[in-house]
Structures are given as C-alpha cells and as structure tokens.
Amino acid sequence: MYSLEDTHRVPDLIHVFNTLSRSKEEFMPLDGKNVRVYVCGPTVYDYPHIGNARSFVVFDTIRRYLEYSGYRVHFITNFTDVDDKMIARAHDEGIAVAELAAKFIAEYQRIAKELNLKPANANPRATEHIDDMVDMIKRIVDNGTGYVVDGNVYFDVSAFAAYGSLSKMPVDQMTAEARIEPDENKQDPRDFALWKAEKPGEPSWDSPWGKGRPGWHAECSAMSRHYLGVPFDIHGGGQDLIFPHHENEIAQTASAYSIKTPVKYWLHNGFLTINKEKMSKSLGNFFTAREVLDHYNHQAVRLFLISAQYRQPLDYSPEVLNQATQSLERLRNALDVLEGRLSLIEKGGTKPAQADSKLAEAVKKIRDGFEREMNDDFNTPGALAEVFALVKSVNTYASKVGKASAIREARSALLELMSVLGIDLETKTTREASASDELLGQVVDLLLQIREEARKSKNYALSDRIRNGLAEVGITVSDTKDGPTWKAE
C-alpha cells in the first residue's frame, strides 16, 4: 500500500470511462488526493440477487484500487427504504415499510461482510433525510423549474436545457419511456415526480405542499449532496440507472444548487446476465446473492464477480462459479508453496540457488502489469491475468530460490494485489474456518486416544512424543481426573 507521502512510486494516471462523455478520461479528482464517491445502493424490499451484488463488488474494487493508488476515498452508498416497490411489498406482506427495510438492510449487511465489502463512510437511509429532500425540492419550486399539482411536485424538464446529456436519448424515446408510467398531472410526459402527495395507508411526511413522500430520484440527489457536497467526483450504479434515475438526478441537483456539472465522472457497471439475458427480479431469471453465497466459497463468488471488466456483461452459470473456485485454489496453493519454501529457508534447510533474481524480476513485472491494467478503467480480468502469471512464476521458481527476501516479496505481492481486488487469501471464510476447526478437533482427539493407549501399555516414549509434538505446534495437553483435555494457542 502506498501512503500519501510515498512519492517514490506514483502510479501512472488512472483512466476512467465517463458515461457523460462516452469516453475514457484522465482521472483528476476535484480536490487533490481526496475522492468523493456516491454509489446508488439497494432498494431494501427483497433479497438482493447476485446481479445487484456485482454492482456492490465493482464499486468496492474501484474504491480499493483508488486507495491503493494513494487517494483518500470518501465512500457513500445509500439504502432506498421508501419508494413504490417498498410500499407495495410491505402491503403484500402486511407489515410496516420500516419493518421490511430493517429486515433487508440486515440481509445486505450480511452479504456485504461475506463479499468483503469495505464499510462505507456512511450508509444513509432515505427516510433519515426527508428534510434534505424537502429543502432541495423547495429550491426547485422557488426557481421555477418545478411545479405543484394537488400536493404533488414535478420537475419541469423543458426548463432544463441539458436534460438528456447523460443518457443521450432522443426526446421521443425519453417520452416513450416516461409514458410507461402515465400521470395526467404532468405537463410533459418526461416530467418526473419530486414529491408525491400522501395516499391512504402510505408512509408520509410534512412538507410545504402537504403530507407526502419524496420521489426516488430526489432521494439520491439530496443524500449525495448532504454527505459529499456538490460537485463531487464519482457517481456509480448499474447501467439501468442511467435513464431516468441519473438523468433526473443531474437535472434536480443542477437546478436546485445552480451548478452546471454536479458530478465529474459517471461510472456504470454492466449487467450480470443469465443465458445472456439481464438478471432481474421482474424477469424472474435470478439467483439471490444469499443462495449463491451459501453454495459457493465467498471469495470464489467475489473472484467470479470481478472476472469481467466492470462495464462488460458477465454471464452467470455453475460452470463459471466452479472455475472461480478452482482459480481460488490455485492462488491459495501458490501462497502455500511460498510459505513452505520460506519456512524451509528460515530453518536453513536449503542451499542458495539461482532462481532468486528470476522470481524478483517476475514480481516487479507483474506489479507493473497489474497497475497498468487497473489504471485502464479498472480492467480486473487483465489484472487477474497478471496475478496468475505470478502464480506460474512461483510454481516454476520457488523451489529453486534460496533467499528468503525473494520469497517474501513474492508472497507480499500476491497477498497485496489480491487484497486490492478484495480477496484476502490468508483469511478463511467462517464456514471454512469452522470446518477446519472441526477437523483439527478430530485429529487431536485421535492422537490423545493413541496416547492413552500408549500410556496404558507403558509405552511412555510414545505418549511423551505425542504430548511434546502437540506442544510444538501450539497445542497444550492437560491431564485431568476426567482424562486429558487440550487447548490450541
């Protein structure tokens, strides 16, 4: 990890694909080394599917790489805890919207942990920021870009010349998309609701226009401004959010705060597909993140989710998940090879050999290659190919290396680069750890039974050998009146 003061190694400039310009641009944050990021989080009305999880992992990986490159990242991702979908689902289940939200926020947090997402600097909930939304909408009404009809407030798209600059959709296409949800109060079908008047049985808050609730787009504009100010550096989400969600966010924020470009870089992840079709709740072609994580190793799932560049589609199948599981094994084996070799060298059991410089050179080349790939719009498959080149070098050279330093460098490169991708090769998942604890328990119990048998037959040399051997690997045996017990360090 490079610290901010570490000037001897400034990686080349990062280039990011900006949806706003449809091109790769040099990444130059607005405020030096500080980067402010807002990513649209889940609508907490149901179990997220593994496609939603792709979006979470993509932006976590981008954040990790920015931090590795020396930036201080302020990362905000929200929970949409009130909107049409939330209200409909809570109604179907006969529970309060807040209860539904609490259940699925807890589920998100569990998934976030299993996928090794770094905690955000804040996870605001829309319902905690109604005041910010009302304040923003008031500004829009006051400056004439919004209008009120029967307690509803709409954004007047015709008053915002740049409308369409993100999605680049022709007006008739935007109109056709907007007509999917008709509303006779609107002056233009493209206008959208900033505030929705209260309907019976729905959660509502006070506002200058009467009781009601915010429109979905208003939520993200107000929360991003609250935590990051405007303008900020990166706004992320899936490609399905470009229109209308992000188009509308730009219109609202620009208009409320008199700012031309509220966000410098718009980044959108491609879809996780199944049989090449977008995975989605409405099509019913989805697997929940929960079922996938319960079935496969958590780190293998993450490895799969970063196996395509983030803007490209990624197709889900059991075969690719099995491949990811094998790839993870190869990475862990390389780590075992390095650790085995290191302990042999440290015990003085090997003679210096000729491959030290070869391994050191490979490590340097691979680090450079990894950074080159990640600097190119976070090309994770390219970066992973570099790490697998390291695995190959380890398997070729490690047994011929004599210097501990060469092994240590390879080991720290392997661990560090994978951890930039969010995969900690040293950490076992909870399930693996409990399985190996169980196995350890069985083996120690077996050894203690053999020791008892040895003692009974007065073979003290063997019983002492078992006890001392266990002590050497950190397992202390105590003899009690109920028989032997043991404790691992």
β pairing state of 152-155 and 192-197: antiparallel
Cα four-point dihedral sign 173, 179, 183, 184: positive
27 lies in the binding site for ligand AMP (CB under 6 A): no
- What's the min distance (Å) between Cβ of 167 and Zn ion? 15
CB nearer to Zn ion: give 220 or 359. 220
Q: What gap in Å lies between CA 359 and CA 134, rounded to an integer?
A: 60
Looking at 37, 57, 220, 228, which residue binds Zn ion (CB under 5 A)? 220
Q: What gap in Å lies between CA 84 and CA 183, rounded to an integer?
A: 15
Phi-psi region of 259 (alpha: psi -120 to 50; beta: other; left: phi over 0): beta
Q: What gap in Å lies between CA 76 and CA 40, rounded to an integer?
A: 9
Q: What gap in Å lies between CA 98 and CA 378, rounded to an integer?
A: 37
CB nearer to ligand AMP: give 124 or 238. 238
Looking at 20, 40, 335, 418, which residue binds Zn ion (CB under 5 A)? 40
* Furthest C-alpha separation in the chain: 97
Q: With beta carbons less than 8 A apart as the criterion, state whether 240 and 40 touch.
A: no
Could you say which of Zn ion, ligand AMP, none residue 279 binds, taking C-beta under 5 to 8 angstroms by partner kind? ligand AMP
| Mask for 245-284, x = binds ligand AMP (CB under 6 A) | ------------------------x-xx-----xxx----
- What's the min distance (Å) between Cβ of 270 and ligand AMP? 7
Residue with token string 């405020």 = 31
Looking at 29, 215, 237, 262, which residue binds ligand AMP (CB under 6 A)? 237
Q: Give me the phi and psi of 375, to 5 degrees please.
A: -65, -20
- What's the min distance (Å) between Cβ of 50 and ligand AMP? 8
CB nearer to ligand AMP: give 220 or 256. 220
Secondary structure class of 209 (helix, strand, coil): coil
Could you say which of Zn ion, ligand AMP, none residue 272 binds, taking C-beta under 5 to 8 angstroms by partner kind? ligand AMP
How many Å separate Cα 275 from the centre of its chain?
Answer: 24
- What's the min distance (Å) between Cβ of 327 and ligand AMP? 21
Could you say which of ligand AMP, Zn ion, none residue 55 binds, taking C-beta under 5 to 8 angstroms by partner kind? ligand AMP
52 lies in the binding site for ligand AMP (CB under 6 A): yes
CB nearer to Zn ion: give 220 or 342. 220
Secondary structure class of 267 (helix, strand, coil): strand
Interacting residue ranges for ligand AMP, rule: CB under 6 A: 40, 42-43, 51-52, 54-55, 237-238, 240-241, 269, 271-272, 278-280
